[in-house]
Amino acid sequence: MFNLSLSDEQKALRDLARHFTQNEIAPLAAEADREEEYPWELLEKAHSVGLTNITVPEQYGGGGLGYFEDCLVAEEIAAGCAGIYSTFVASTLALTPLNIAATPEQMERLIRPFCAEPALAAFCLTESGAGSDVASVRTRARRDGDSYVVNGTKRFITNAGVANLYTVTATLDPDLRHRGLVVLVVPANTPGVSVGKKEDKMGQRAASTREVIFEDVRVPMDNRLREEKEGFRLVMETLDKIRAQVAASAVGLARAAMEAAIKYAKEREQFGQPIASFQGIQFMLADMDIKVEAARLLVWQAAWLADQGLRNSYESAIAKCFAAESAMKITTDAVQVFGGYGYIKEYPVEKYMRDAKLLQLYEGTSEIQRVVISRSLLK
């Protein structure tokens, strides 16, 4: 049976996230952006109402819900502040390899205590020489007895310095490229782990983005996910699963920009009438809505496939690419609807536009999504 309606539980979760966003996130968004400070009390509140660790199984202290439900929450939170949402999705991204590949013992030891407290995790993949080309990772994991000794520097890591847990992709031998990668779970307080410079960003400024440095960090083999050399596949499976969430956050951000543009268009008068009466403005609003609705359906498809345990690389790449590019276009047009006021920080839409740009870059750039899509078309 084909059905696109939400269950009562799903509607209740979406409404919870919507109210939480309106009451707790939206009022703090402008200041968090200006001050580049993450409002910590938010995480505690989100944890207490069950809006964190949604996809972690209930038996380990998580929400026990699917990626689809996580996308419902993502859309709502990102509508309030995409930067604050990035801290949530970066944490889910870091926990996803554990959800996919951890043994019950690893979940019990590493994830149950993590979920018991308000806490964030971080996904440490990118390096200065390894961005889109993941197989170029140089952070080394050298076997020493029943441990790995990890050395290297990760770049652009969301939640770096504030996370309790790092999921780290390292290489056993850089010459092996894809076949050399291994994924290790590293508690942030392990000796030898430190953070480097904080990035001064264009947008999504509420999220902390820094280097993470590993100097002779001893990680027990028991913290390795899957077998040696299976790291690359695990990273790819993780990104496939989580791209729908990033796409959902693009839908939320775009929706918020569209709603702001509609409200302003009805209020602002020029030539003796609201600017909403001009067809040029009406069509811009209609095009925004077409993109929001279409992107949401693509998100739902990609997340539903992930929850069925079905491969969704192609669908999640389409959803991420379309939603991110739609968010960029919609937020830029929202500035246009606001005219000169759209360019001024006192109004909300310039932040939406700055925040949207990151969605075309992280978790795989729009070009990399097109690589995934065209590979699927041409195979």
Ligand X SMILES: Cc1cc2nc3c(=O)[nH]c(=O)nc-3n(C[C@H](O)[C@H](O)[C@H](O)COP(=O)(O)OP(=O)(O)OC[C@H]3O[C@@H](n4cnc5c(N)ncnc54)[C@H](O)[C@@H]3O)c2cc1C
Binding site for ligand X (CB under 6 A): 90, 122-126, 131-132, 156-158, 201, 204, 209, 358, 361-365, 367-368, 371
Please, which contacts does 268-273 make with residues 24 or more away whose CB atoms are closer than 8 Å? 268/339
Nearer to ligand X, 63 or 364 (CB): 364
User: Taking the complex as a whole, how short is the minimal distance between the CB of residue 371 and ligand X, in angstroms?
Assistant: 5
CA distance 17 to 23: 10
Determine contact, residues 203/355, Cβ cutoff 8 Å: yes
CA distance 318 to 165: 30
Nearer to ligand X, 90 or 328 (CB): 90
Catalytic positions are: 363
User: Taking the complex as a whole, how short is the minimal distance between the CB of residue 90 and ligand X, in angstroms?
Assistant: 5
User: Taking the complex as a whole, how short is the minimal distance between the CB of residue 294 and ligand X, in angstroms?
Assistant: 23
Nearer to ligand X, 238 or 276 (CB): 238
Q: Which residue number is nearest to ligand X in terms of Cβ?
A: 131
User: Taking the complex as a whole, how short is the minimal distance between the CB of residue 313 and ligand X, in angstroms?
Assistant: 15
Nearer to ligand X, 89 or 292 (CB): 89
Beta bridge partners of 121: 165
CA distance 224 to 141: 11
User: How would you label 209-227 residue by residue, b for 16+ Cβ within 10 Å and e otherwise?
Assistant: bbbbbbeebebeeebbbbe
CA distance 139 to 154: 8
CA 177 to chain centre: 26
User: Taking the complex as a whole, how short is the minimal distance between the CB of residue 161 and ligand X, in angstroms?
Assistant: 12
Beta bridge partners of 144: 147
Determine contact, residues 81/27, Cβ cutoff 8 Å: no
Nearer to ligand X, 141 or 281 (CB): 141
Question: Other CB atoms closer than 10 Å to residue 106's CB: what's the count?
Answer: 17
Q: How many residues are present in the chain? A: 379
